[in-house]
Amino acid sequence: MPDITPALEIVDLSVGYAGETGMVPAVDGVSFSIAPGEFMGLAGESGCGKSTIAQSILRLLRAPGIITGGDIRIAGHDMLTSDEAKVRELRWRTASIVLQNSLTSLNPVKTIKWQLQEVLDRGGGSKSPAELLQMVDIDPRRLNAFPHELSGGQRQRVVIAMALALSPQLVILDEPTTALDVIVQQEIFVTVKALQQQMGFAVLLITHDLPLLFDVADRIAVMKDGKIVETATVEAFRRHQEHPYSRTLLSATPRIDFATPDVIRPKDVAHPVLETAHLVKAYGTNPLTGRSMLMAINDVSFRLAPREIVALVGASGSGKSTFGRMVTGLTRPSSGDIIVDGHTPVPVSRRRKSTPRAAQMVFQDVYGSLNPLHTIGHHLRRAVISAPHAQKVDVEARVASLLTEVGLTPPASYLDRRPHELSGGQRQRVGLARALAASPKLLVADEPVSMLDVSIRRDILNLIARLRDEQGVAVLYITHDMVSAGYIADRIAVMHRGQIVEEGPAKAILMHPQHEYTRRLIAAVPGGLGLPDGHTDNHLTEATT
């Protein structure tokens, strides 16, 4: 449609970051355009430059970012040659943006109303703050609420409402739901799609999650190292990917093999590696009533057989992490019993060197879980030395073998490196190695891949599976992601509001979810699970009803 000016037109755009030694290019001659009302998805891994583009469009890219070439036109208005006043005028009227972190993107000390009104004050808005809230399905009575009084999902909705206040031609969504749960994510996109239908604005969605784009986007562009390697309509792209990188990216998202049936292990083995009975963890007791304000874990009885991988699935705040921490003894239960390999986990504070630690933790935050000041060698040596009955072992040899087991070879080359010199995947491997140092019977892996790039997630998952096979450790895999759960786990336990609402063989659960909550989780999986015929994936269209 050549006669229509595109909502966004980017020609040969180059963006770079000023560095100690000259410019470091981040976006390199990128060109694409979005037709009015079109939903465009820009996918790529962290550091590929997709967010840089998103922020450059409105010239919001922070120092030391510099736009070094090309053109950006929003609905025909040139953003790069216009003077600052003009650019400010164009901002939000022609294009608005929704940032990733919903909490920090609203001013903490101003009410929602104030912040909406502030936009409307620029003029041209047709709706009142109240109407805007209604539009994104938030009770207008919350108008005078402060950001911290809303949930993450609500906050993001508020920002979306704000973004549409001046009915711009283009809305840029910069990873808007990465920090949110799948279900919330789904709901938000349902709303966005609906609004798009009504108002006809174009959307540029930046994400690392290809399958999500399959659900929502009309067109997909894949970025790598600051370049767009491929652009295609969703249908075309699903059928076949031109560029090899697109393929690796797509194949990296684990595929559940529904062909092979579940490995059914005897449910009640004589010696479960983990057994909990009526486990309860309550936080903050109310001074008046004496009753607990928050039941993180509410009467959970659960068993885990040796060599078994069980995925504990649930939304954030469902209590799954708390459960994991209690199993390893990092957190003490309020009541109920935990038996790990025949012992009750000893609370950290009261551990002696000899106390067995059958359960070891693998942490989510690959950046935070290693001390930035210490070498990899230090971390592992400490782990080996402080493992029970470690006197006999030769520390260095043990450390080396650990590194090899997790695929960090040659070990010597890693010993003296510091965390910040390693990639995310490598760090998580170190994390695994550390967990294995005490040769535990059970690994508690708390979202071990959620912070990693798509392409390496599967490697880590495979590694965990392999460790199970080779070392015979059981694994409690804590995640919010049904797909990875189905991919690696023998059994799936679904946790909701501190209780296990459904439990069973992985594929059985995925194919025949019993509990409503499980259904919604599955329905919310971006791009669906790719279930065999007869089991149609729920899609946004249906979920909306």
Partner 1 sequence: MALYDTLASARRKAFGSIPVTVGAVILLILVGSSALAQWIAPYNPKRATGGINEFPSLKHLFGTTGQGQDVLSQFLYGGQNTLWIAFTIAVLTTLLALIVALTAAYFRGWVDDVLTLVTNVFLVIPSLPLIVVLAAFLPPGPLTMIAVLTITGWAFGARLFRSQALSLREREFIAAAEDVGERRWRIVAIELLPNMGSVVAAYFVNQVIFAITAQASLEFLGLGDGGQVTWGSMLFWAQNTSALIRGAWWTFVVPGMAIALTAFSLALINNAVDELGNPRLRADRLLRRAGVRKSSASLMTPVKRNA
Partner 2 sequence: MLYIAKRLAFYLLAAFVAITVNFFLPRLTPGDPASTIVATYSTTLNEASLNALKAAYGLTNEPLWSQYVTYLGNILHGDFGRSLSNFPAPVTAIISAGFGWSILLGLTSVLLSFVLGSALGALAAWRRGGLFDKLAPPVLLFLGSFPYFFLALLLFYLFCFKLQWFPMGNAYSSVNPPPFTLNGIGDVLFHLIAPAFTIVLVSLGPWTLNMRNAMIGVLSEDYLTLAEAKGLKPRRVLFSHAVRTALLPNVTALGAAIGGVFSGQLLTEIVFTYPGLGYSLMRAVSSVDYPLMQALFLIITLSVLVANFVVDTVYVLLDPRVRTGQEA
Binding site for partner 1 (CB under 8 A): 16-20, 22-23, 55-56, 59-69, 80-81, 84, 87, 328-330, 348-349, 351, 353, 355, 357, 360-361, 363-365, 367-374, 382-383, 386-388, 418-420, 431, 434-435, 437-438
Minimum CB–partner distance for residue 70 and partner 1 (Å): 8
Structure tokens at 79: 């953003």
Q: Within positions 43 to 62, which residues make up the interface with partner 2, using CB under 8 A?
A: 55, 58, 60, 62
**How many angstroms separate the CA atoms of 322 and 298, rounded?**
11
Pick the closer one to partner 2 by CB: 96 or 318: 96
Amino acid at 335: S
Cα separation, 449 vs 363, whole angstroms: 9
The one among 71, 122, 142, 339 contacting partner 2 by CB under 8 A: 122
Q: Which is nearer to partner 1, 154 or 322 (CB)?
A: 322
Task: Tell me the one-letter amino acid at 71.
Answer: D
CB of 88 vs partner 2, minimal distance in Å:
5
Q: Which two tokens stand for residue 322?
A: 């708390």
Q: How far is CA 507 from the centre of its chain?
A: 22
Q: Which residue lies nearer to partner 1 by CB, 58 or 305?
A: 58
For the CA atoms of 74, 78, 80, 85, what is the dihedral angle to 10 degrees? Answer: -90
d(CA 310, CA 162): 42
Residue length, the chain? Answer: 545
Using CB under 8 A as the binding rule, whether residue 113 contacts partner 2 is answered as: no
**Do strands 219-224 and 39-43 pair parallel, antiparallel, or not at all (unpaired)?**
parallel
Quick check: 67 binds partner 2 (CB under 8 A)? no
From CA 67, how far away is CA 516, in angstroms rounded? 49
Q: Give buried/exposed letters for 445-484 (b at 16+ CB in 10 A, else e).
A: bbbbbbbbbbbbbbbbbebbbebbeeeebbbbbbbbbbbb
C-beta of 208: minimal distance to partner 2 in Å? Answer: 19
CA 481 to chain centre: 9
Binding mask 158-197 for partner 2 (x = CB under 8 A): -x--x-----------------------------------
Q: How far is the CB of 284 from partner 1 (least distance, A)?
A: 16
Which of 7, 13, 40, 99 touches partner 2 (CB under 8 A)?
Answer: 99
The residue among 239 and 420 lying less far from partner 1, judged by its C-beta, is: 420
Q: Which does 122 bind (CB under 5 to 8 A by kind): partner 2, partner 1, none?
A: partner 2
Distance CA 76, CA 54 (A): 17
Which residue in this structure is represented by tokens 């104030």?
A: 114
CB 133 within 8 A of CB 139: yes
**Which residue in 91, 320, 457, 520 binds partner 2 (CB under 8 A)?**
91
Considering CB distances under 5 to 8 angstroms, the limit depending on partner class, which of partner 1, partner 2, none binds residue 534? Answer: none
Applying CB under 8 A, the residues found at the interface with partner 2 are: 55, 58, 60, 62, 88-93, 96-97, 99, 101, 104-110, 118-119, 122, 146, 148-149, 159, 162
